[in-house]
Every structure is written in structure tokens, then in C-alpha cells.
Amino acid sequence: MIPVQGFQGQTVAVLGLGRSGLATVRALRAGGATVIAWDDGPTAAQLAEAEGIVLRDLTKPDAFQDVACLVTSPGIPHLYPRPHPVIAAALRAGVPVDNDIGLFFRSLAEPDWDRFDQLPRVIAVTGSNGKSTTSALIAHMLGEFGRDVQLAGNIGRGVLDIDPPEDGGIVVLELSSYQTELARSLTPDVAVFTNLSPDHLDRHGGLGGYFAAKRRLFAEGGPDRCIIGVDEVEGQMLANQLAQSPADDRVISVSCARKLGGPGWSVFARKGFLSEYRKGRQIGTIDLRAIPGLPGAHNHQNACAAYAVARTLGYAPRQIEAAFHSFAGLPHRSQTIAEVGGVRYVNDSKATNVDSARQALRAFPNIRWICGGLEKEGGLDALLDATGSVVKAYVIGREAAHFAMQLKGLDVEICTDMTRAVSRARDEAQEGDTILLAPAAASFDQYNSFEHRGDDFVNIVKDLTGVDGR
């Protein structure tokens, strides 16, 4: 646990008592704060009371009279589409609002760090797509290199739940826009921006607000080294604003769409080959095509970002290549479940939006595509140009018929449920085909989460093929 500093003897309010909220309460108490809390859900409130947490209805008048700070869980809106009533009350009362990420950064450093030969470091990863894989790949590599590494944030453990890092320890954080937009302290040593595509627009008041939430990690965090995906104009602008000159190697540009040149530091992937250039010279290359845990151009972008982090920390290209080969990938993210009779089964349930599904569709040949679910705004037109490898689509979800109508020019079968979709795809698949779950939609019409949806796919594949999966 990271005890929260700066509130000893003061009262701090916590809104939301899920995983991060409960961890925040414990960390605040460990730092000497008096904690009161509130959750709109009666079940969460009852569990909190059973743990001895003092509840106070923060919607009542004068609820913030003695409160030094309100700490809110990431999923609770504080501005758009409208502030939660408790946060609105805190704003009116002039009480600072923060989240667990802000508390983490203000509390990480300890006085006994003076005895360390090598200070702990924090690597923070944000972006629309690929941040989970990039974060996990960085942590995997550092573990392979023998470093003391912890993975936390939007993946792994909650940030305040981790152990205080020891001499030379590294914390890798995956940070969503919900987490970066509100944190009052953001001070990573290395920060990574993977890419940007429309997502959570209602929460951020549009694409500009969404980008601004990501940008805070760099503009306000002041990292020593920034690794920026430049395949969208927002990344190009961010890299431009952070660099003092074209040769400023505090900014490493990353691309999976084009060769990068110039006098600066860049890492890019083309036709399955990663290349590193510095001061106009190539100084490293890796063949990514034979690395099973990183299939497709979108994963090659993740590999470039992770490679840049490792190079920043002083590791050699050959060390990085070896670590890539031992990376198994993440569950629900381009995860190969089985190969039976020449047919590959791939679980990419994490492809909850159009852009991530688009990337998955470009990663495999001869695709039998399982898609559908709770649609996000904007429709499906933006991914239709990536469906050239789709042999047939098998649509699931409560609104499968409407989803199917948008898949113009494709052979489509409305299956509604996962069992029928996987069964039909298996029956029709031929050697060399890939049965790909990449829904391009949220899961909440039929499942509790994208993990629940992916697990269902995995279990059905195992039942139908007789393999254990992996």
C-alpha cells in the first residue's frame, strides 16, 4: 500500500466505494487522514460499513463543512455531460477534487529514498487503443530484464494498492482519460501516448476535451522523456509542442504507418519490421512478423512504443527482441485461443470501439468475424474499408439486425448469441481461416464486461473444439 501523504489529521471525503475507492480509503487512513465516504449504491455502502468506513451522505447541505478534499472514483463524471451531485456540491463549497492517481503521485516518494542507489521510476501510458498491451509489454520486458516492476492503474492492481517501490523499482501505469483528466498531480518519469480515436466523447464534451484529458499527462506532468504516437494529427501536435527543436531527443516519435526521418529520435514499423533511427542513422531493427504475442500493425505500434521505453532505460535492441518473443499477449486482446484443423480462433473482445476493431480486422487473413453488441455513437462506416479480409460476419447482440444492416457489401448472418455465432463460424470455416471476435461495440447489452464476453467466447471455443485454450 502507498500511504497517502499531506492529509494527516484532516478529513477527506471519498466518493465511490468500488475497488479503487476502497483502496483509496485504506491508503488515506494509513497516511493519518480521517476518512468519510459515500456511494450511491446500497450494496457498496453496506460493504463499506462492514469494513468500519464512516458513511456520510455527501448530497446533504453542509456535508463539506469540515472536508479538506474530495477523492472521486474515475467513472464518476465531474464536468460532462453533467457533474455528479456530490462533485457539484464540492465545487460550490470550494473543496478540491482529486482522484487516486493524483494521490499516488503526491505520495509515492518516501524520505528513505535517500538511501537508494537508484531512485524508483514511474512509466505512464495513455491513448485510445493499445495502452493495455503496451503497458503489459513494458512490464513484461522489465521483468525479463530482472527489474523489480509493478503494473497498476487501469490494468493490474490499483495504484494505491501496490507496494512501495524499492531501490531501482519501476511502476508501470496504464492511465485512461478518466484518470488523467482530474488528477491534481501527474509526474511520471516517462510518458507514452499511443494514439487517438473518438471515444468517451459524452464524458469529455467532444473530441477536443478527450484529447485535452490525455494531453495533461505530458503538458502538466513534465516527464523526462515523452514517447508519442504520431499517426494522427493530435499526436503530431503533441510531439511538436513538447520538443524544443527537431533534434530534441527528449521526445521519441512512434509510427506504424510511415517511415520517420529527421535529426530526432524515432521508432517505426513498416511491413512487419521495427526500425529505430537517431540523428538520421538507423541503430536498431527487429522482425516483428514471427512474434506470436504481437500480431498485426496495431500491435506493432505497441511494440514500437514499448521498445522506445526500454531504449530510454538503457536496454539493447537484442535484449528487447528476446523479451518480445516471450510475451504471450493479454487476454481479450488479439489472443489466440486455439488452432484446430488449420482454423485459428482469436479473442479480441477488448475491441469495444470501431477503431480497435478496425485494427484487428487488418491483422488477420480470411476472417470469419464475430461482431455486434451495444453500439457506440458514430456508426460503423469508419471500419468498412478494413473488411477486405472478411469472408463472412456473424452478428451478435440484442440489436443484431440493425448492426448487420450497416455492414454493407459483406456476407452477414444474424446469430444474436455467442454460441450460435461461434458454432456457425466453425461449421463454415476452411483451412487458413481465422474466427475473430472483434465486436466493435460495448458488451453491456448481453454481458457484464468485455472480459465476461471474451470468457464466454473462450469457453464456447473450448467446448466446440475440445481444446483447453491458452
Q: Is 366 annotated as a binding residue?
A: no
Cα distance between residue 327 and residue 350, in whole Å: 18
Q: Is 416 annotated as a binding residue?
A: no
Calculate ∠ Cα 33-38-43, nearest 5°.
125
Q: Is 34 left (phi over 0), alpha (psi -120 to 50) or beta?
A: beta
C-beta separation of 346 from 305 below 8 A:
no
Q: Is 356 annotated as a binding residue?
A: no
Q: Taking the alpha carbons of 306, 171, 197, 350 in that order, is the dihedral positive or negative?
A: positive
Q: Is 127 annotated as a binding residue?
A: yes
Q: Is 131 annotated as a binding residue?
A: yes
- Spacing of C-alpha 56 from chain mean position: 33
Q: Is 128 annotated as a binding residue?
A: yes
Q: Is 185 annotated as a binding residue?
A: no
Binding-site residues, in ranges, read 127-133
Task: Indicate the annotated binding residues for ATP.
Answer: 127-133
